[in-house]
Amino acid sequence: MSGAHPEAIPAYIGLGSNLGEPRQQIENALELLGRIPDSRLVARSSLYTSAPFGPVEQPDFVNAAALVHTTLGAWSLLGHLQKIERVQGRIAGIRWGPRLLDLDLLVYGDHRIDEPSLTVPHTGIAERNFVLLPLREIAPELVIPGLGQIGDIEVNELVPRISRIE
């Protein structure tokens, strides 16, 4: 396995969609996460609906988080996430704009990566309730490198508007 790690690394993935039947987009993506080579889908959060983040007028999002144990390297895993996005029809669009599917590598073990194509932990993770609440649900003891334990990170549960839907 080129670029693989000998032991499985816990990788946390954020999922979001607000176009093309968002709930189905997320469910399909979760199924495909379970098919990534050298990886195993271990946990998934409930689905949440949230108001859009950023300056673009658009429909509400459906969000979730997933935990995958993988022996793939971070860039290889990112490549598989991007492939899932493409398979489901994602094309590059407006920053913070509407999208069929967005898969973000949020946390990759205890690694900190700051490269042009990959930043882990994901940028802005501590300011986004649509990331933190699903993550807390599946990993209440998670320590996010550079930020601390997820339970200690203050979350505004009102802005942007968010609610659990299942």
How does pLDDT run across 103-114, given as a tens digit for each residue? 999 999 999 999
Q: 116 exposed, middle or buried (CB, 10 Å; 0-12, 13-18, 19+)?
A: exposed
pTM as predicted: 0.91
* Pairwise pLDDT comparison (97 vs 157), residue with the higher score: 157
Domain locations along the chain: 9-164
pLDDT tens-place string over residues 35-89: 999 999 999 999 999 998 766 678 999 999 999 999 999 999 999 999 999 998 7
How far CA 15 is from CA of 7, 10, 29, 95, 129, in Å, comes to 25, 16, 8, 16, 13
The residues that are catalytic are 90, 99, 102, 104
How far CA 128 is from CA of 10, 56, 74, 158, in Å, comes to 21, 16, 22, 11
- Taking the C-alpha atoms of 59, 55, 53 and 165 in order, what is their torsion angle to the nearest 10 degrees? -20
CATH architecture of 9-164: 2-Layer Sandwich (3.30)
pLDDT tens-place string over residues 7-44: 999 999 999 999 989 999 999 999 999 999 999 999 99
The whole-number pLDDT of residue 5 equals: 47
State which amino acid sits at residue 58: Q
Count other C-beta atoms under 10 Å from residue 43's C-beta. 14
Tokens read off for 112: 């900190």
Say whether pLDDT at 1 is over 60. no
pLDDT bracket for residue 140 (50, 70, 90): very high
Contact assessment for residue 14 and residue 134, using Cβ atoms and an 8 Å cutoff: yes
pLDDT bracket for residue 91 (50, 70, 90): low
Alpha carbon distance 4, 27 (integer Å): 27
The whole-number pLDDT of residue 150 equals: 96
